[in-house]
Structure 1
Amino acid sequence: MNELVLDTARAVGFLSRLPVPARYFEDSDGRMDRTCRAFAFAGLIIAFPAALLATLLLSLGVDPLLTAAAAITALVILTGALHEDGLADCADGLGGGRDKQQTLDIMKDSRIGAYGTIALVLSLLLRVAGLAAIAGSLSPTAFALAVLATASISRAAMVWHWGALSPARSDGVAVGAGEPTTASVRFALATGGAIGVVLVWLVAGVLAVIVAGAATAAMTWSFTAFVRSRIAGHTGDTIGAAQQLAEIAVLFGLALCL
């Protein structure tokens, strides 16, 4: 079996609730150090049903705001709110923790606090608003491509954040998944960047490629630097939060250029 196909299937299984045949997980130890290179491709597959739904709704004349809300709802269902859960826990820890250990303890707590609730509400509002803003300026097909581009770019940004930091704790999901190899990080960024450039260029032109790319890079770099200063490493929650923030950055970059 082709290794990239295998990694893509495993990445889809790791990042979503989509059914993946068991044969792709034979002899798998659950580590993502190489598999994460396929996250950009996995993003396309995971977001495809949501993009298809959005295209159908816009073609039927459904209001862009309602279409955007439906697309985000579909994405949350498809991923099992994996990234939203990480964002909420990350916000609670970074917002309420006074030092590294307390921050990590709060992140590990499954209960959601005020910071996490606010972060979730703001994330959903910003993503729906961003999608609605671009839906009003694009054809149904172009809007679907924008949804796919956002999904692919934001999952490549996860790998960037993941590879830039060491694990912040000695146990947990991130430790069990392993650390991305340098080759995997480069491949994920190259493929995510290439997919993003092509799709965003088709949707909104060269300026949008530059603005959305710069916004995503600035957001991911800033968040990674902030996490490094607070807990000196990544966790599964910060990786999930990186995806959410990158998605918002891409949408705002597109909205500015349409």
Structure 2
Amino acid sequence: MSADPLPRRSPTVAQLLDAIRFLTILPVPNSERAPESDWLTRAMTFFPIVGVGIGLISATVLVLGDSLFGPGLAALLAITASVMLTGALHEDGLADTFDSFGGGWSVERRLEIMKDSRLGTYGGLALGLDVALRATALAQLPLWAGLAALVACHAAARATPGFVQRRLSYAGAISGMKVAYADEPMRKDELVLVLITVALASLPLLLVSPLALIAGLGCGAALTALMTGWAKRLLGGYTGDVLGAIEQMFEIGFLLGVAAVLAA
């Protein structure tokens, strides 16, 4: 007598698992379906939800670190936790993007540098400044504000790829690279769900200080717009590395904006 087949997960659960699998190093059940060409785009709807989880874990490390070492080291440990949890996915994109933009003199050469796994001077400096700015800004916040800021920051930052994807074309095709998600931008209803998730994740910070939330979102959006315009000018569009860099730029801007209002 044959065993009953395993129940198939609903598309929503499967897409959430895809998002967790893509954004983190956490072990999740293997997919029970054949990969679809738009799997990553559909999973982007759940990126902010995964961001909430990353923010909560980072916030937990912040609390523990503050009780043991004080705010400075606690902030650095909280940033370290998020880097380890995500496998430095976005940081890798940031380094590759800055190496590409700083070292290439043509679109083709920039894309070639972006595919090179070696870390260059521009990428190394970008990574160092990235961690330093985020950790220092977080260390300036009262503990309760830092906890709320981490959750809102990680959720909102992971909403940026879907919006950038709708504004820019995919640049990697110039050098022969091709990814299926480039042909499948997020639908408007999915973007609405993303915004709802970000709004809910931002409620704790909103209760702490509406002005700090506005400053964080504004500064994060400003750096996102700057990076988006830079990518359009130098590459003619986006790549996966550019999306990772934009996520990191939003995190930097968000934490700096919150710190500008609530710095202790």
Whether TM-score is above 0.5 comes out as yes
Q: Computing the radius of gyration over CA atoms, which structure comes out larger, 1 or 2?
A: 2
Name the residue aligned to 1:85.
92
- Partner in structure 2 of residue 95 of structure 1: 102
- How far apart in 1 are the matches of 2:240 and 2:192? 21
Deviations 1:193-233 (A, max 9, x none): 4135313213x311112211211221112211111111111
Please tell me the residue identity of whatever aligns with 2:169.
S
Q: Which amino acid aligns with 2:137?
A: G
Note closer, same or farther for the CA distance 1:12–1:239 as it changes in structure 2 (3 Å cut): same
CA drift of 1:166 comes to 1.4
Alignment of 1:32 with 2:40, yes or no, is: yes
Q: In the TM superposition, what is the alpha-carbon distance from 1:39 to its structure 2 partner?
A: 0.8
Query: Structure 1: 5+ residue runs without aligned partners?
Result: none
Secondary structure of the corresponding residue to residue 216 of structure 2:
helix
Deviations 1:131-186 (A, max 9, x none): 1111xx233xx4323211111011112222233211102254x7244442232662
User: What is residue 6 of structure 2 aligned with on the other side?
Assistant: none
Distance 2:35 2:189 in 1: 17
- 8 Å Cα contact 1:152/1:195 also seen in 2: no
Query: Residues of 1 paired with 2:193 and 2:106: CA distance?
Result: 32
Identical aligned pairs, as a percentage?
36
**Equivalent residues in 2 for 1:1-258 (5 A)?**
1-22=9-30, 24=31, 26-29=33-36, 31-58=39-66, 60-134=67-141, 137-139=142-144, 142-170=145-173, 172=177, 175-178=179-182, 179-183=184-188, 186-187=191-192, 189-202=194-207, 204-258=208-262
Q: Is the 8 A contact 1:18 1:46 kept in 2?
A: no
C-alpha contact 2:162 2:186 (8 A) present in aligned 1: no
Q: 1:25 to 1:11 in 2, by over 3 A?
A: farther
Give the Cα separation in 2 of the matches to 1:199 and 1:222: 28
- Preserved CA contact (<8 Å) 2:97 2:123: yes
Assess, with a 3 A threshold, how the Cα gap between structure 1 residues 48 and 17 changes in structure 2: closer, same or farther.
same
- Structure 1 residue 2: deviation in Å? 4.7
Normalising by structure 1, we get a TM-score of 0.89
